[in-house]
Structure 1
Amino acid sequence: MESADEEVVLTTVRPGCTLLELQRPHRRNALSHEVIERLEAGIADAEHRGDAAVVLTGGDAYFSSGGDVGTMPTTSDGVFGPAARLSRIHDLIHQITRSDLIVIAAVEGYAIGAAWGLVLSCDLVVAADDAYFSAPFAARGLAADAGTAFHLPRLLGHHRAAQHLLLGDPLPASTAHELGLVSQLVGSGTATEHACQAAQRLASGPRESNAVTKSLITRTYASDLADFLAAERVAVSLAGHGRDATEGRAAFTERREPRFT
Structure 2
Amino acid sequence: MTGVHGRVGDDGVAVVTIDRPQARNALDWDAWESLGRLVAELDRDDVRAVVLTGGDRWFSAGGDVTSMGSRQGSGVTGPAARVRLAHRVVRALTGCRAPVVAAVEGFAIGAAWGLVLACDLVVASREAFFLAPFAQRALVADAGLAWSLSRHVGHQRAAELLLVGARLPAVRAQELGLVNRVVEPGEAGEQALELARGLAAGPADAVQLTKALLCRAPQLSLDSFLDEEHVHVALNGHSPDVAEGRQTFLDKRPPRFR
Match for residue 56 of structure 1 among 52, 59, 67:
52
Q: Which structure 2 residues correspond to residues 88-127 of structure 1 after superposition, within 5 A?
A: 88-127=85-124
State the partner residue of 1:47.
Answer: 43
CA positional deviation for 1:76: 7.9
Q: Aligned pair 1:237/2:234, yes or no?
A: yes
Q: Aligned pair 1:29/2:33, yes or no?
A: no
Q: TM-score by structure 1 length?
A: 0.93
More displaced stretch, 48-57 vs 173-182? 48-57
Does the Cα contact within 8 Å between 2:26 and 2:63 map onto a contact in 1? yes
Query: Which SS does the other structure have where 2:44 is aligned?
Result: helix
Q: Deviations over 1:6-48 (max 9, x none)?
A: 3512323222101111110111111222222222333234333
Q: Deviations over 1:203-251 (max 9, x none)?
A: 1111110000001111122111111111111111111221221211121
State the identity %. Answer: 48
* Structure 1 unaligned residues grouped into runs of 5+: 1-5
Does the Cα contact within 8 Å between 2:42 and 2:96 map onto a contact in 1? no
State the partner residue of 1:86.
Answer: 83
Match for residue 153 of structure 1 among 150, 155, 158:
150
Instruction: Measure the CA separation in 1 of the matches of 2:40 and 2:89.
Output: 11
Instruction: Measure the CA separation in 2 of the matches of 1:13 and 1:159.
Output: 40
Query: Which SS does the other structure have where 2:42 is aligned?
Result: helix
* Structure 2 unaligned residues grouped into runs of 5+: none
Instruction: Measure the CA separation in 2 of the matches of 1:258 and 1:39.
Output: 34
Q: TM-score by structure 2 length?
A: 0.94
- The runs of at least 4 aligned residues of structure 1 exceeding 6 Å deviation read none
CA positional deviation for 1:74: 7.7
Does the Cα contact within 8 Å between 2:28 and 2:68 map onto a contact in 1? no
Query: Which SS does the other structure have where 2:35 is aligned?
Result: helix
Instruction: Measure the CA separation in 2 of the matches of 1:158 and 1:254.
Output: 49
Q: Deviations over 1:102-148 (max 9, x none)?
A: 11110001000100001000000000001000111100111111100
Match for residue 204 of structure 1 among 185, 191, 201:
201
Count of residues in correspondence between the two structures: 256
More displaced stretch, 237-246 vs 156-165? 237-246
Q: Deviations over 1:175-215 (max 9, x none)?
A: 00111100110000110010000111111111110000001
Does the Cα contact within 8 Å between 1:74 and 1:81 map onto a contact in 2? no
State the partner residue of 1:142.
Answer: 139
Distance 1:7 1:250, change over 3 A: same
1:193 maps to amino acid:
E
Query: Which SS does the other structure have where 1:169 is aligned?
Result: coil
2:155 maps to amino acid:
H
Distance 1:226 1:187, change over 3 A: same
Does the Cα contact within 8 Å between 1:133 and 1:173 map onto a contact in 2? yes
More displaced stretch, 74-83 vs 9-18? 74-83
